Amino acid sequence: MLETTLSPADAGEVLTLQRAAYVSEAQLYRDAFLPALTQTLDELAAELEGPALGLRADGRLVGAVRWQVHGQSAHIGRLTVAPDRQGEGLGTRLLRAAEAASGAARFELFTGHLSTANIRLYEREGYAIDRREPLHDGVELVYLRKG
């Protein structure tokens, strides 16, 4: 497994991975219009101007994560793992790599309230629920912090 820096040149591959990874979330929330599924190639390429890491297995992108640093805090976003590779620890590996590469002292991320596997992963890695914010149709965003 090779850890690699992602750039705008990887946008098409990241978008494919992202869409595949978020299908299960869309089913869970009964919402085919999640931001991760409606993001355009140009929007994603712009995000990849900032820090982003990927994991490759035999040349194939099987995981990705992006983040932004504001002062001493890093906001971890769009942690994605290919559906056929979930449960192998790749999400944990990417989360730890993003934290280390960010140089931040504190971290924040969010997920939906029904995404219990995600919440368990984050709590196992030392994150604690900071707040919940209603989104729409009974969906809540769960914000977690560490540090």
Which CATH number fits the domain that encloses residue 83?
3.40.630.30
**pLDDT reported for residue 96:** 98
Domain span holding position 133: 2-146
Q: What is the mean pLDDT of residues 124-146?
A: 93
Residue 139 has pLDDT above 90, yes or no: no
Q: How many domains does the chain have?
A: 1
The answer, as to whether pTM is greater than 0.75, is yes
Burial of 17 (0-12, 13-18, 19+ CB in 10 A): buried
What pLDDT sits at residue 28? 87
Burial of 121 (0-12, 13-18, 19+ CB in 10 A): middle
pLDDT for residue 89: 96
Cα 66 to Cα 54: distance, rounded to the nearest angstrom? 9
- Distance, in Å, from the CA atom of 131 to the CA atom of 87, rounded to the nearest integer, reads 26
Q: Over the stretch 24-54, which tens digit does the pLDDT of each residue have? A: 988 988 888 888 999 999 999 999 999 999 9
pLDDT in tens, 110-127: 999 999 999 999 999 999
- Predicted confidence at residue 140, as pLDDT, reads 92
Spatial contact of 11 and 43, defined as CB atoms under 8 Å apart: no
Write down the pLDDT at residue 7: 98
pLDDT band for position 138 (50/70/90)?
A: confident
The per-residue DSSP string of the chain comes to: -EEEE--GGGHHHHHHHHHHHHHHHHHHHT-TT-HHHH--HHHHHHHTTS-EEEEEETTEEEEEEEEEEETTEEEEEEEEE-GGGTTSSHHHHHHHHHHHHH--SEEEEEEETT-HHHHHHHHHTT-EEEEEEEEETTEEEEEEEE-
Mean per-residue pLDDT for 115-140?
93
